Structure 1
């Protein structure tokens, strides 16, 4: 066989081998792409996204769209060819698998966690919107979760209201950890609680629960640091009672990133006039009970998805601005927001057409 032919044959076989390796050998990456975007002021699957009863509401036009990201499943194994395509494509982002599923988290575990975060984001969106409208909301600290095989298991239960720890009144969830860690591991800590059932019964009767009980728990040592902290094995959260009913109907969505847009949608429906002035505004961002907007993942995918549906403005958490501004879709203005008040101020400028002073995102933030 002539040397030239042999060289060409060897090169061809090597190329085939490389292509086969690229197709069949998995790489530790996952893929993100633009997901659906839903108008919080409109309908989804035939029913309004926001359903409010017991309070006067107002019609709203325009768009306040929440945005989402699609991700590959936990058991999906990407090959090198797909990874390279994702790196080169504008509408996809390839990230390490552990970024989406850390510590070997299964898809079921991730879905459950996202559902819990989504539920909490809805509650915080309601609280933030009503606070901005100066509508009172009753709040209290509760046992959110109890860790299996921890000192608290069987002693405290999810939904128990924490009134005090060692006789000191509790007003915020982080008060609980601060008071517990004043102890050394092995010491007793006393929780004053309203049992979850008693609290639920009081809420149904529209009364304030008064039945309390003291629960003594021996603390254990934490496993997360060299200096062992005292723990009991619970996480504390906040529960609320609203003066009227607000339901958010949106299935198959998870995570906390729609909080800001839900809050704005609720605010719009409870006030006369249109927040957007009929404009197409989309956005993203977590929100806490005080209206502070937090960063999210996949912002580049969300801006692409929003613009493809016609969005003109995109409300962007301050901490996501630099990443979003590196590749802004044409025709989309990125507006920097840190609080719900910032977002409302920006919407005022948008609907008035006075957009020159809008706080726009740059690659520096």
Structure 2
């Protein structure tokens, strides 16, 4: 008696099973293959009116520096390193977290640059930011850089985003609020923004994460570049007041208003 052939559906099932094996293996491989992303999270905050790594952040010579109260905190973000292997499960788990941001790798680490070159670029950006902060602060106070010398030190933190807070810190050290009081009004103020020598405040990256770092470290007010109000608002913790600023003059006026109980714009 001849053997009967297996049903057609059975042959198709076996064929699909055989085909599924390499597909499944491909999916598993893809899931754990490195992807071109970097994951960032809230980083350090540093009071520019105080010390960092055992050294004053702001040192003044050629003029008397005021004793200040309150804090002016610059903020940072921390990103995974240039050689970190970010996989699909990590991207998927962090994509919807408010305290994480998934960013294209090349937006943080320029292609074709070594780790050393990237670090040198960040240090150079910080140096330029510090120079601009000194010039903007002295210009605001109508003081000559030939008579007043200011040096800034922030250890191993790089990039240009501390420019605004450096500028305000210098102003507070030299002049306070201009009326005999502290520019901070005794508060803990945080903020971010690049600075041009003419006092213009520019946008920065990672604002949504920086407001979280500021709230975590006790700030009640956050100065944010005006164009980034919406971005900052989306990530701001409850109780943190966001104050938009476009230039140094506006930032100083806002801090004076907060100290005196006056009207101050909010995001």
TM-score of Structure 1 vs Structure 2, range by shorter chain: 0.7 to 0.9
Q: CA deviation at 1:136?
A: 2.2
Aligned pairs for 1:24-63 within 5 A: 24-63=32-71
Tell me what 1:251 maps to. 155
Q: TM-score, normalising length from structure 1?
A: 0.64
Q: CA deviation at 1:254?
A: 0.7
Question: In structure 1, the residue corresponding to 2:231 is in which secondary structure?
Answer: helix
Pair 1:269-2:177 in alignment: no
Tell me what 2:144 maps to. 136
Q: Is the 8 A contact 1:34 1:302 kept in 2?
A: yes
Q: Say which structure is richer in helix.
A: 2
Separation (CA, whole Å) in 2 of partners of 1:28 and 1:46: 37
Q: TM-score, normalising length from structure 2?
A: 0.86
| Runs (5+) with no aligned partner, structure 1 | 138-241
Question: In structure 2, the residue corresponding to 1:78 is in which secondary structure?
Answer: coil
Separation (CA, whole Å) in 1 of partners of 2:27 and 2:215: 38
Separation (CA, whole Å) in 2 of partners of 1:301 and 1:35: 8
Summarize deviations over 1:238-285 as a string: whole Å, max 9, x none.
xxxx42321112111111110100000000000142101111110000
Q: Say which structure is richer in strand.
A: 1
Change beyond 3 A, Cα 1:19–1:351: farther
Pair 1:110-2:98 in alignment: no
Q: Is the 8 A contact 1:98 1:104 kept in 2?
A: no
Backbone CA RMSD of aligned residues: 2.3
Pair 1:358-2:264 in alignment: yes
Aligned pairs for 1:207-286 within 5 A: 242-271=146-175, 272-286=180-194
Separation (CA, whole Å) in 1 of partners of 2:163 and 2:185: 21
Pair 1:82-2:90 in alignment: yes
Q: CA deviation at 1:113?
A: 0.9
Q: Is the 8 A contact 2:72 2:188 kept in 1?
A: yes
Aligned pairs for 1:179-194 within 5 A: none
Tell me what 1:314 maps to. 222
Question: In structure 2, the residue corresponding to 1:273 is in which secondary structure?
Answer: coil
Q: CA deviation at 1:17?
A: 7.7
Separation (CA, whole Å) in 1 of partners of 2:28 and 2:71: 46
Summarize deviations over 1:115-154 as a string: whole Å, max 9, x none.
11100110110011111111123xxxxxxxxxxxxxxxxx
Q: Is the 8 A contact 1:58 1:273 kept in 2?
A: no
| Runs (5+) with no aligned partner, structure 2 | 1-9, 15-19
Tell me what 2:3 maps to. none
Separation (CA, whole Å) in 2 of partners of 1:296 and 1:133: 25
Separation (CA, whole Å) in 1 of partners of 2:144 and 2:149: 14
Q: CA deviation at 1:326?
A: 2.0
Tell me what 1:220 maps to. none
Separation (CA, whole Å) in 1 of partners of 2:239 and 2:23: 46
Query: Paired residues, what number?
Result: 248
Q: Is the 8 A contact 2:91 2:102 kept in 1?
A: yes
